[in-house]
Amino acid sequence: MKIINYVFIFILSCCVSCIAEENFNDWLNSFSLKAKNEGVSQSTINNVLKQARFLPNVIKYDRYQPEFYEDTKTYINKRVTKKRINNGTNLYISNKNIIKKIESEFDVEKELLLALMGIETNYGTYLGKMDIISSLATLSFDKRRSAFFSNELITILKLVDNKLIDQNILFGSWAGAFGNFQFMPTTIKKYAIDYDKNNNIDLKSIKDSFASAANYVNKMGWKKGQPCFFKIELSEKVPSKFLNTSAKKINHKKNLKNFKKFIKNYDEIKNYENYKTAIVTPDKEIVDNPNILAPAYLVFDNYELILKWNRSLRFALAVCTLKNSFTNEL
């Protein structure tokens, strides 16, 4: 009986997959017309877009991201390790002159650039192997964030059209991100730089990728020399309205001195009392305890800018933690 059930489930899953793929093909034909109407050439539609395949695993990855289910300690400890710090230091030593030049030119700390690359791709060792066009097409076909990914798909097709990106190297993350710093297509369009002036933006090269990341962070308004966050101990008297648990928007920003009575270790951070800050308790949204007050972080403008890069409280904490780890290493 069990064998019959397994066979039935297998056949049913195959049927569902076939139906989804058939619907995807219909969607692809319709989207091809949309792409043409938005200025994508017929050649790119035929040779790039229409080669897209439905990737069911991409839907699974979208529903099960570590930023959504790992607690902060686990998330950071997996990503900020001695090995990763050493690898970042070695990368810097091997490319010291160009990284220092980019740091000076864009007024962005080398430690931040190394941290972003380290968290995103482990210094280029994990760039992703997914067909980006198929990934973006699958996510555009899916209903959860169709508008967002449709815009990204149109953008990458236009970048290929304009010969700014080589279609033959478009392999990256399941979400359509690409290169050492995992740029989405709209980010490539707005901030990527052909730094070595070879008429090609290669986001897998040190020069183009570091300059593009530095340009992105600089244009977002990064404040060099200012902190991202401090870990704090909260009093039980802190009003819940001050506790930010979502990365969508950081609310209740105040000068640090206004939070003084709620922070037990205030003396450690009192030098920043006139800075605009907010309190983040990242685990309240995933831990089954509404009264949890730890871990808690006092975050600054620079932390909020990292959220523009990736809307995850834990991602931003990991980047800033790794950045701080390089302070005495470089």
**Position 214 in a domain:** yes
**Position 101 in a domain:** yes
**Position 185 in a domain:** yes
Based on the domain organization, do 30 and 139 belong to the same domain?
Answer: no
DSSP 257: G
Based on the domain organization, do 216 and 233 belong to the same domain?
Answer: no
**Position 283 in a domain:** yes
pLDDT at residue 2 is higher than 50: no
**Position 306 in a domain:** no
Full residue range of the structural domain in which residue 18 is found: 1-39
Last residue of one domain, picked from the residues 222, 238, 253: 222
pLDDT at residue 186 is higher than 90: yes
Based on the domain organization, do 218 and 71 belong to the same domain?
Answer: yes
Torsion region of 225: left, alpha or beta (phi above 0 gives left; psi -120 to 50 gives alpha): left
Q: What is the mean pLDDT of residues 177-182?
A: 96
* 3-class DSSP state of 287: coil
| Entry field: residues in the chain | 330
pLDDT at residue 268 is higher than 70: yes
Number of domains composing the chain: 3
Based on the domain organization, do 186 and 116 belong to the same domain?
Answer: yes
**Position 120 in a domain:** yes
Q: How many CB atoms lie within 10 A of CB 255?
A: 13
- Residue 102's nearest CA partner among 228, 216, 181, 211 is 211
Last residue of one domain, picked from the residues 171, 190, 222: 222
- Residue 314's nearest CA partner among 146, 48, 49, 77 is 77
pLDDT at residue 281 is higher than 70: yes
Based on the domain organization, do 243 and 216 belong to the same domain?
Answer: no
**Position 305 in a domain:** no
Based on the domain organization, do 200 and 80 belong to the same domain?
Answer: yes
Based on the domain organization, do 65 and 82 belong to the same domain?
Answer: yes
* pLDDT classification of 6: cutoffs 50, 70, 90: very low
Based on the domain organization, do 91 and 152 belong to the same domain?
Answer: yes
**Position 110 in a domain:** yes
Based on the domain organization, do 168 and 267 belong to the same domain?
Answer: no
Based on the domain organization, do 104 and 218 belong to the same domain?
Answer: yes
C-alpha dihedral (22, 27, 32, 37), degrees to nearest 10: 160
pLDDT at residue 271 is higher than 80: yes
Each residue of 143-161: pLDDT tens digit?
889 999 999 999 999 999 9
Place of tokens 């933690």: 321
Q: Where is 306: in which H helix or E strand?
A: helix 301-309
Q: Count CA within 13 A, CB hemisphere, residue 250.
A: 25
Please state, in angstroms and rounded to a whole number, the distance separating the CA atoms of residues 47 and 157: 10
Based on the domain organization, do 214 and 241 belong to the same domain?
Answer: no
pLDDT at 62: 86
pLDDT at residue 65 is higher than 90: no
Each residue of 207-229: pLDDT tens digit?
999 999 999 999 999 999 999 99
Report the Cα–Cα distance between both ends of the chain, in Å, rounded.
64
Based on the domain organization, do 286 and 205 belong to the same domain?
Answer: no
